[in-house]
Structure 1
Amino acid sequence: MTRWLLVAGVFLLAAPAAAQDSARLDRFLAAAPVIDGHNDLPWELGDQHDGRVEGVDLSAGADRLDPPLQTDIARLRAGGYGGQFWSVWIPTDFSGPAAVVRTLEQIDIVRRMAARYPRDLTLVGTAAELDAARKGGRIGSLMGVEGGHQIDGSLAVLRQYYALGVRYMTLTHSKNVAWADSATDAPAVRGLTDFGREVIAEMNRIGMIVDLSHVSPDSAKAALAVTKAPVIFSHSNAFAVNPHPRNVADDVLRLTAKNGGVVMVNVYPVFVSADYAAWHQRRTPVPQAERAAWDKANPPPRVTAADVADHVEHIARVAGRDHVGLGGDYDGIGGTGPEGMRGADGWRLLFAELMRRGWSDGDLAKLAGGNVLRVLQAVEAVAAQSAAAGAPNRAVAR
């Protein structure tokens, strides 16, 4: 009886505390909505659902589609979103004019999404427009090109992407481009070529954010050395926590802090957990027909919001709390994610974990979106200075 009363007493004490935590979380997200740096829903709609923006209901329940999606309006709302950079990624096996056409098709999907759900999504192009969208109860939608192969060596193409709403470009994806190295390819350039530096300069001039996710450490350092504006890593984690080549080492974190940039934490378990990455590597060669049996005999290691929080806190310790943000990579991670974070509503668990670790609402607001909003403002300021100085367009180059 005494034990039962003790357990009951603990439960009664815990229940009000949990309710208070939930209420704090609701108040926080109402005041400081999430601005997520990376979501691959446009590719999933194009590749898995034939680009049927008008025929696929994204209002709710997209996890029940065939194939399922990790993002819909209901989960964005539950996750406290006020802004989303939609990735307009295409695979690296597209090159030349075909890469430009496929990128335009991805941009078209984002623009159709905004038109399909005007009460929830609105295209924005500036920090002020993004802030106004958040305050007006809509999710400000921007775009990010995920790989320098998508401009086909043309600064004119880069400028036209900006005109259509693209506000960052990732310099590489999983393979090198002619002017910069990828973190997951054999080093070739070991920095940036002259054209690579021209790309950075033109991005600074027009007001497009330089994104260093996927980029090799040498090329990232070279970009940080020449850019006049802050950068982002739109969906990367801390190398010191999980030594995956897609994650950011401490020396680059320190350079990013000096630059004023932001590293935006990703939820892909392979990038979050070294144990999961090792499990995934063992699983990869298993034939698809045998994977169910293999998975039963070799269950994956647990990955939780606490593991994601470890990356946030490491980046905050090394670079500072002004230089960490969120870039989930939802719908680009094969339906996986940490426990309770396998959809776009998952950020709530991360915030709750960081609240338990003593993070203030002010620091959480920086993480949620304040830091990346500041970067966007700074990038715009650099572009305005270039315009005032009469900086010319750079020539088309290949």
Structure 2
Amino acid sequence: MADLQDELHASTEADELGELIDGPFPADPYAPVTDPGAEPLERAHDFLAVHPVADGYCGLPWVLRHLPWYDLELGESHLDTDIPRLRAGHVGAVFWSLHLPEGLAGDRAVGATLEQLDLVKTVIDAHSEGLRLAYSAGEVADVRHCGRVAVLLGPAGAAALGDSLGTLRSLHALGLRVLTLSGASWASEAGLTRFGEEVIREMNRLGVLADLSGTSAETMRRAFAASKAPTVCTRSAARALRPHPANLPDDLLAELGAAKGLCMVPLTAEQTGPSVREVADHLDHVRALAGPECVGLSGTYDAGTTHPRELRDASGYPHLIAELLRRGWPEPDLALLTWGNLQRVLRDADFTARAAQQRRTASTARIADLDG
């Protein structure tokens, strides 16, 4: 098991692999991998064996924090996520949320986020045969090729920063790769403040993705303009189909697509509907407006939400892919949906960070200096 020093510094081999291979694809990523004459569910399993799922949101860390004992390798019936379910669902990578309950702020929020980070590392150390931490697109591909599930850290809530860019840098050094902007004083209904724009610039310099789910339309538009790296919505579907406040109206979906961001559609009854067909309707809608390069999947398992019966836990992804195959989704678009699009935004964030680090040093800005 690698020690903390190994975890904080990605191997050269993994990064080089990520430059050459955009995930576990065949030499021709557009070559068909399934038999068109087979049943859709059989085709879905064959497809996902080559193009696995990169899941944008899992709430497992907070749930595990309150369990006296668990074994993710053997499986846990009272959880939505464990290693057998991840394997059955062909999940190759998953973001583990560091979100906290509402009401935690300041030092309490910072401390609770650090405890979440520590818990995740402990859990993965205890399940090293199935899970491994990853910090970049190259490492995600490397972990997948080793037969494990890559776990990425984030999103964390903006409260975890305590309005300190130094805390942001510390969280990044510990592995954080996505930060949700909603709820921050500097990302309000009126949009990003001057300090909020500085947060975005520092996130770009570090390689931390900005999660815009739950933010206002003005904050989203300002983030599109301010960020040099792609932005993501880790839990957003189409508001035209279901009027949930975290879902995006058609104009913002089109703008997200124009900015080459990523809308990760949650598989929840509340946001997308109680059936796999309704989830597929949202994927169709987002793909049509934002483009096939800008739609992804967000299981949102173990986050206190209900799910369609066919997608009740992390093993259900083949049923969703089977539904999309029935609708005529071409395999190249499906490959982007399940794996390629998330790899792209991770790779672009790393590229943006390397370029930004040559142009600017760590920001020492304080919220009182810019917004006071």
TM-score by length of structure 2 reads 0.86
Q: What corresponds to 1:299 in structure 2?
A: none
Distance 2:333 2:62 in 1: 33
Contact 1:156 1:396 in 2 (8 A): no
Structure 1 residue 43 corresponds to structure 2 residue 62: yes
> Secondary structure of the residue that 1:84 maps to in structure 2?
strand
CA contact (8 A) 1:78 1:345 kept: yes
Q: Do residues 350 (structure 1) and 350 (structure 2) align? A: no
Q: After TM superposition, give the deviation of residue 21 of structure 1 in Å.
A: 2.7
In structure 2, the residue matched to 1:153 is 163
Distance verdict in 2 for CA 1:194–1:82, change over 3 Å: same
Per-residue deviation, 1:137: 1.0
2:362 aligned counterpart, secondary structure = coil
CA distance in 2, matches of 1:246, 1:355: 27
User: Which residue of 1 is the match for residue 352 of structure 2?
Assistant: 382
Match of 2:186 in 1: 179
Please state if 1:321 is matched with 2:292: yes
Matched residue, 2:25:
none
2:72 corresponds to which letter in structure 1?
A: L
Q: Which contiguous aligned blocks of 4+ residues in structure 1 show a shift greater than 3 angstroms?
A: 16-20
Q: 1:144, 1:167 within 8 Å by CA — same for their partners in 2? A: yes
Unaligned runs of 5+ in 2: 1-34, 368-372
Post-superposition offset of 1:159: 0.8
Q: Please give the alpha-carbon distance, in whole angstroms, between the structure 1 residues aligned to 2:366 and 2:132.
A: 33
Structure (1 or 2) with the larger CA radius of gyration: 1
Output the CA distance in 1 between the equivalents of 2:215 and 2:41: 38
C-alpha displacement of 1:396: 5.1
Give the conservation status (yes or no) of the 8 Å contact 1:146–1:171: no
Contact 1:224–1:256 (8 Å) recurs in 2: yes
Could you report, residue by residue, the CA deviation over 1:158-206 in whole angstroms, capped at 9, with x for unpaired residues? 111111111110112xxx321113xxxxx4xx10111111110100011
1:331 corresponds in structure 2 to: 302
Matches within 5 A, 1:27-38: 27-38=46-57
Q: Which amino acid aligns with 2:330?
A: S
Q: Confirm or deny: 8 A CA contact 1:326 1:369 kept in the other structure.
A: no
Which residue of 2 is the match for residue 295 of structure 1?
Answer: none
Describe the SS at the equivalent of 2:311: coil
Question: 1:211 matched to which residue of 2?
Answer: 211
Q: Which runs of 5+ in 1 are unaligned?
A: 1-15, 182-186, 274-302
Q: Distance in 2 between matches of 1:195 and 1:338?
A: 40
Partner of 2:192, secondary structure, is coil
Per the TM alignment, residue 397 of structure 1 is displaced from its structure 2 partner at its CA by 2.1
Letter matched to residue 319 of structure 2: L
Does structure 2 conserve the Cα–Cα contact (< 8 Å) formed by 1:60 and 1:75?
no
Structure 2 counterpart of 1:89:
99
Counterpart residue identity of residue 361, structure 1: E
Matched residues, number: 333
Q: Distance in 2 between matches of 1:349 and 1:157?
A: 41
Q: Which residue of 1 aligns with 2:76?
A: 62
Q: Tell me, what secondary structure is at the counterpart of 1:38?
A: strand
C-alpha deviation, 1:19, in angstroms: 5.8
Code of the aligned partner of 1:151: L
How far did residue 26 of structure 1 move?
A: 2.0
1:245 pairs with 2:245: yes
1:57-206 to 2 correspondences below 5 Å: 57-63=71-77, 68-172=78-182, 176-181=183-188, 187=189, 190-206=190-206
